Copies of this chain bind each other. A is one copy, B any other.
Amino acid sequence: MFAQERSNIIKKIVRKHRRMTFAELQQLVKVSPATLRRDLAELELAGDVIRVHGGVLDPSYVRTEVSFDERVVLNSSAKKALATTAALLVPSGATVLVDAGTTCLELGKALMGRKDVRLITHSVALVAAAFQGEASVLCIGGELRKVSGALIGGAALSALNLIHADVAFVGASGLDPAEGCSTTELFEAEMKKNMLSRATRKVLLADHTKWKKPSTIHFANWDGFTDWITDEMPESEQTKHLCASGLKIHKA
């Protein structure tokens, strides 16, 4: 076997297996460790494989794997885009209810710089961030839920009942075309329900990754919202159907 052939074979094998130990690879390419190493060194230089201690990885596999991080970062830029679009819906002088969750946190940060809005939230992260902002902030008190950084419970619900806001921004962890919006936790669902009932304009903030992935606890139907802000429109049929019930969909 010529060196050229061997190197092509190695490429193919690695691409197929995506990740394998040095020994596994050696078993398939019947050559001495030294030669295999030499080949791999070349392939690595050419960018055709990625070597790690004890094995090799397919670059495209690593890319998708690493993009877990990138997705979070990327997602956060998507979330920023959502937040920016959402912020445009807030008129001067408005009182704004902001849900807990990362997307809504971005929105809160986007509004924070404005002197002419009044934020109401039960998100500890947002309140903490608001130190640096200009907006006036009212914090809904309640039990601290450490996983989400939200203040929830009976106290939070009843505090909410004294409030009326111009706009409410609510996040969701799952969206279903038929059922509507859902989240993972009962008390948070209650909070969301209440928030929606306390505002005139009810805005859903949820990117396309949530679409068709319902979570455990349902908290609102589609007609429970006046607006939905997303980064990707759903299929046109579904869009038409949703809009028929009065929902405005905004693409960030």
Contact = CB atoms under 8 A, between A and B. Distances in A.
A147 B18 contact: yes
Contact of A8 (B15, B68, B124, B137): B68
Contact of A141 (B52, B55, B128, B139): B139
A104 interface: no
A151 B141 contact: yes
Given A15-B72, A52-B4, A64-B125, A144 B130 contact: yes
A149 B149 CA distance: 17
A18 B147 CA distance: 7
Given A18-B147, A54-B2, A64 B138 contact: no
B151 A143 contact: no
A37 to B, nearest CB: 16
Interface residues of A, number: 50
Contacts of A131: 67, 124, 144, 146, 149
A12 interface: yes
Interface of A: 2-5, 8, 11-12, 15, 17-19, 52-55, 57, 61, 64-69, 72, 122, 124-125, 127-131, 136-144, 146-147, 149, 151, 153, 155-156, 159, 162
Given A2-B19, A5-B52, 10 more contacts: A2-B53, A4-B57, A11-B68, A18-B147, A67-B131, A130-B144, A138-B142, A138-B143, A139-B151, A141-B159
- Pick the 6 closest A-B CB pairs, nearest first: A141-B141, A64-B128, A137-B144, A128-B128, A2-B52, A140-B141
